[in-house]
Amino acid sequence: MTAPQKIILAPSILAGDFGNFARDAQRVEQGGGDWLHCDVMDGHFVPNITFGPDTIAAFRKATKLPLDVHLMIERPDQYVDRFIDASADHLIVHLEAQHDVARTLQQIRARGKWAGLAINPDTPPIKAAPFLDQIDELLVMTVHPGFGGQAFLPEMLSKLQELRFIAGDDLPIIVDGGINPETGRQCVEARANILVAGNSLFRHKTLNLAEAIAELRRHATD
């Protein structure tokens, strides 16, 4: 299968230095990242806590890149407005969270922002089907959400192909978790077109961030 021409790379700031977020957001922009992926975790929906709207506002000051905000929180409906006020560009909410999904998506679009839907590894593709015409991007978790640095789940590749079949050619599909040049390439072959990557970029053994971004892009698009 041939890869789509344009692959978007969204480095995940979760793997950056929490004491130097502004610097790392700038490094992503200067290093050739397309979007800045920002993982918001509340300690309820996932067993980890990261950051909230004030930090998103700080990223906005540091970079012009689109802020792709992945809300791993129990009640996204109660917080999307605050994240939009903080200059988030894309708001991604989980299908498995406690909210009226269609309504939250509508709430995001009503404010002129990209509405994204994320699904966990155990959620069957068919559950996303009713929402596909209400979203601007679909995020397929390729690890169980909560922590960076986990191993890619290879069984997500067939799920990706199925979702691409259901969604059609035009919906941007993001993969998130355990993405490196090898798994990224496999996901592109399975017709994902946006790659989130944290550890493989920020904590590469030999390459700096810009070099690691370039390597991932080369593998994904060759």
Residue 104 or 142: the one with the smaller Cβ distance to ligand DX5 is 142
169 is catalytic: no
Burial 151-188 (b: 16+ CB within 10 A, else e): ebbeebbebbbebbeebeeebbbbbbbbbbbebbbbbb
Size of the site for ligand DX5 (CB under 6 A): 21
CB of 213 to ligand DX5, least distance (A): 13
Residue among 105, 96, 95, 38 nearest 65 (CA)? 38
**Following CA atoms 97, 76, 173, 186 in sequence, which dihedral angle do they give, to the nearest 10 degrees?**
-60
Residues 6+ apart with CB under 8 A from 7: 188, 193, 194, 195, 217, 220, 221
Choose one: 33-41, 44-52, 80-88, 94-102; the region binding Zn ion (CB under 5 A).
33-41
Q: Out of 87, 120, 123, 150, which residue is the one contacting ligand DX5 (CB under 6 A)?
A: 150
CB of 72 to ligand DX5, least distance (A): 6
Q: Does 178 bind ligand DX5 (CB under 6 A)?
A: yes
Q: Out of 138, 176, 209, 212, which residue is the one contacting Zn ion (CB under 5 A)?
A: 176
- Write out the catalytic residue numbers: 39, 176
| Positions that interact with ligand DX5 (CB under 6 A) | 12, 14-15, 37, 39, 70, 143, 145-146, 148-150, 176-179, 196-200
